Structures are given as C-alpha cells and as structure tokens.
Homo-oligomer: A and B are copies of this chain.
Amino acid sequence: MTAQRRVVAEVLDGEHVHLTADEVHSRAVTKLPEISRATVYNTLGELVSLGEVLEVATDKRAKRYDPNAHRPHHHLVCARCGAIRDVHPTGDPLADLPASERFGFTVSDVEVTYRGVCPNCAAA
C-alpha cells in the first residue's frame, strides 16, 4: 500500500460517481501532484481484479470506474449526455436465461444497461 494507491482509493471512495481513468487521475493529482497516469491505470486495474471496483463500458469512449462493487446493481445511462445512475431492478436476469440458451457456457455474471433520456436532456 503506497501513497499513490491510497490516493486513488480515496478519490474513488470520495465521490460516488462513475469517473473515467483520466478523471480519477486529475483528481488524484490535486492530492499528490507527481502521480502518473500509468500508476492510476495500474491501480485501477488492480482494484478491478480485487473486485473492489467495477469497470463500466456503457459507451465506447473511456471506461468508467464504479466504486460501488459490493452491492449488485445495474446502470441507467442517458443517451444524450451520458449521465449514469445506479439502479436496482427487481428480478434476477440470470434466472431468465434458460439452460437451452447457455450453449454450454458457465454463466457467472450479467450486466444490464438501461438506456433513455434523463430529465435534464428531455427538458432541453
């Protein structure tokens, strides 16, 4: 546990939004000016493999990092502005995939992305 990793963890923990790696980096820089982008990427990668943080790839722009890895949830994305909210649907989508549709895969996870237009963009 180095100063750099602590700073990255703090940034993620501080704001419960979905930051890009570059956003994490620029916030980290304010706390530890000499931290490099490579280290942010490394640390984010480790946090992801530790299961502490989730990668979200809702658009094909930058990946976003979701610190809320422990409570299962899905995402609601605005098609206009890209805003992301965590949502908790009822029901279990995994149960909706019958064995005949699994093609021998060992299915371990499911990711649901709802798309729509947020109130802000709808008003504009």
A interface with B by C-beta (< 8 Å):
55, 57-60, 63, 76, 78-79, 85, 87-91, 93-94, 96-98, 101-119, 122
Q: Are B115 and A101 in contact (CB under 8 A)?
A: no
Contacts of A63 in B (CB 8 A): 60
Q: Does A116 lie within 8 Å of B105, measured CB to CB? A: yes
A88 to chain B, nearest CB (A): 6
Interface of A is mostly: mixed
A89 touching B96, Cβ below 8 Å: yes
A113 & B111 in contact (Cβ 8 Å cutoff): yes
Indicate which residue in B90, B103, B115, B119 contacts A110 across the interface (CB closer than 8 Å). Answer: B115
13 further interface pairs, Cβ-Cβ under 8 Å (given A85-B105, A93-B112, A106-B116): A55-B60, A57-B57, A57-B59, A76-B101, A76-B103, A76-B105, A78-B105, A90-B96, A90-B98, A91-B93, A94-B114, A107-B115, A110-B113
